[in-house]
A and B are shown apart, each in its own frame.
Chain A
């Protein structure tokens, strides 16, 4: 059934038990992103330790897709150098914008590959990218400030 293809167990697990949720101090920069079509929002903070993403914390209101993808994001980028985190970001964006035609690399995206089914629903792509765009923006801000 199509619905299960989209809402993989992994996504539902992250939705029900999100990783890294809650806003924490200290942080270097914060980003607030909103999806104007549905009003979903996320506030996300980034703490960098030199070149390494040492913490990502977030809070927000949103659907299972946006919440789960932000949870997966924290798993993927925390503890990684910014360069590697951005490679993952690029891979995730490519997957989500691929209309279901992109074969995800599990080594790079880990749980993120579960979102391959979401990419077939253009209306939901923005949901999946909400937290990731906040991450990109927060990192840019913290580097701009440094």
Chain B
């Protein structure tokens, strides 16, 4: 992606994020390079949550008093703004507690399809059917599909990775065959930042009538995403990775699919008619939002997409690209550092995983932490990916709109410091 838009004024942006000016570990300036795990929130988001709670708080979709009306408007207004932000219609977004719940919702609803009447027939999976995933997946978009396969007798298949960590798409038709019922894959890897060609996979899935489920956790926060244009059937992402609150995620489903999909969690708020003998269910999205939903979190996420829209997703993407290029360059110049995944920044978001010869990632992370630099160490919930790339675990730096080139330099210096400390430089 290229852009001609003006670069970000990061200094001004950073002033919106109070946490970025705190110090850690005895007065070290905080260098936060872990936004891939969770992002920080600007005052605009915090203020929106607080204003909602101080002025409009009530249970949504229940009660006829003024506060209930205002709370419902705030909640549904947020849904509309988030839908606009990701290229979806109002009724196509379901609020969940996080992206993980979104994947489980689809997988369990499909598991319920066999006993849910003719409308749900298209979702039924069973012996002889195939569920396709990739070796690149976060556990959140892998384990629910393993479980669905185990419950239904379907077979799990997956795309393997090339040695530099991209999807091996050399023989798509042998992986996505006419037996495929679902193809679940990530838009952008949370470990390597690799951006997958959604069009190729969607086309292959459509050809055989399989549903597509996109993990949009790392794409929606970091660049322009339009679900209608991508043509995926379902997509899931989390608020806390996009300047919004934790405790809220979003599941996108194409309207006609959500209308036919049976529920996963049942109870209050998701019904149409309840009798002792049985119940009927509300249309989507309510059918998938059983119980009292999160409210201030939805409002906060609405404020987060407002904030991101004002800054501009193209500009954010370009900014992170520049940081990624600098980090790859800086780290590859350090002797003893092995970059994991692609060595370049082509079709890649702002995530840079690496190993330091002779320094275990946990120990490297500890040295960086002592310098105030927050990175993620471990397998980042993508154990199979690490196995494919011959890494037991890794150090991962991830970037967001508020990170600077200075911080990339601090990371590279910190890596040298770690080598010195462990006597391998």
- Which residues from chain A sit less than 8 Å from chain B, CB to CB? 1-3, 6-7, 12, 37-40, 61-65, 121, 124, 127
Is B378 in contact with chain A by the CB < 8 A criterion? yes
Contact residues in B for A37 (Cβ distance below 8 Å): 378
Q: Which residue of A lies closest to B371 (CB)?
A: A3
Contact B370 A124 (CB under 8 A): no
Q: Which residue of B lies closest to A62 (CB)?
A: B360
Contact B421 A40 (CB under 8 A): no
In whole angstroms, what is the CA distance A115 to B220 when docked? 43
Given A3-B367, A7-B421, A64-B360, 5 extra CB contacts under 8 A: A3-B366, A39-B392, A40-B393, A63-B361, A64-B363
Contact residues in A for B383 (Cβ distance below 8 Å): 39
* 7 tightest Cβ-Cβ pairs between the two chains A and B: A63-B362, A38-B378, A63-B360, A3-B370, A39-B379, A39-B393, A64-B363
Our pick among B361, B362, B377, B421 for the contact of A3 (Cβ within 8 Å) is B421
Min CB distance, A28 to chain B, in Å? 28
> Using a CB-CB cutoff of 8 Å, which residues 356-414 of chain B contact chain A?
360-363, 366-367, 370, 377-379, 383, 386, 392-393
Our pick among A2, A39, A61, A63 for the contact of B363 (Cβ within 8 Å) is A63
In whole angstroms, what is the CA distance A95 to B421 when docked? 25
How many residues on chain B are close to A (CB under 8 Å)? 18
Contact A121 B379 (CB under 8 A): no
Min CB distance, B379 to chain A, in Å? 5
Q: Which residue of A lies closest to B362 (CB)?
A: A63
Our pick among B26, B377, B392 for the contact of A61 (Cβ within 8 Å) is B392
Our pick among B361, B366, B392 for the contact of A124 (Cβ within 8 Å) is B366
Is B25 in contact with chain A by the CB < 8 A criterion? yes
Contact B366 A6 (CB under 8 A): yes
Contact B377 A38 (CB under 8 A): yes
Contact residues in A for B370 (Cβ distance below 8 Å): 1-3
Query: How would you classify the secondary structure of chain A's contact residues: helix, strand, loop or mixed?
Result: mixed
Contact A38 B366 (CB under 8 A): no
Contact B361 A38 (CB under 8 A): yes
Min CB distance, A121 to chain B, in Å? 7
In whole angstroms, what is the CA distance A121 to B366 when docked? 10
Contact A38 B362 (CB under 8 A): yes
- Most A CB contacts (10 A, CB to CB) among B379, B383, B386 go to B379
Contact B367 A127 (CB under 8 A): no
Contact B362 A39 (CB under 8 A): no
In whole angstroms, what is the CA distance A64 to B25 when docked? 21
In whole angstroms, what is the CA distance A61 to B392 when docked? 8
- Most A CB contacts (10 A, CB to CB) among B360, B377, B386 go to B360
> Using a CB-CB cutoff of 8 Å, which residues 282-337 of chain B contact chain A?
none
In whole angstroms, what is the CA distance A37 to B365 when docked? 14
In whole angstroms, what is the CA distance A7 to B418 when docked? 12
In whole angstroms, what is the CA distance A59 to B378 when docked? 19
Contact residues in B for A127 (Cβ distance below 8 Å): 362
Min CB distance, B387 to chain A, in Å? 9
In whole angstroms, what is the CA distance A12 to B420 when docked? 13
Contact residues in B for A38 (Cβ distance below 8 Å): 361-362, 377-379, 393
In whole angstroms, what is the CA distance A65 to B362 when docked? 9
Min CB distance, A82 to chain B, in Å? 31
Min CB distance, B359 to chain A, in Å? 8
Given contacts A3-B367, A39-B392, A61-B392, contact A124 B421 (CB under 8 A): no
Contact A124 B362 (CB under 8 A): yes
> Using a CB-CB cutoff of 8 Å, which residues 86-118 of chain B contact chain A?
none
Q: Which residue of B lies closest to A1 (CB)?
A: B370
Contact B386 A39 (CB under 8 A): yes
Min CB distance, B386 to chain A, in Å? 7
Min CB distance, B44 to chain A, in Å? 31
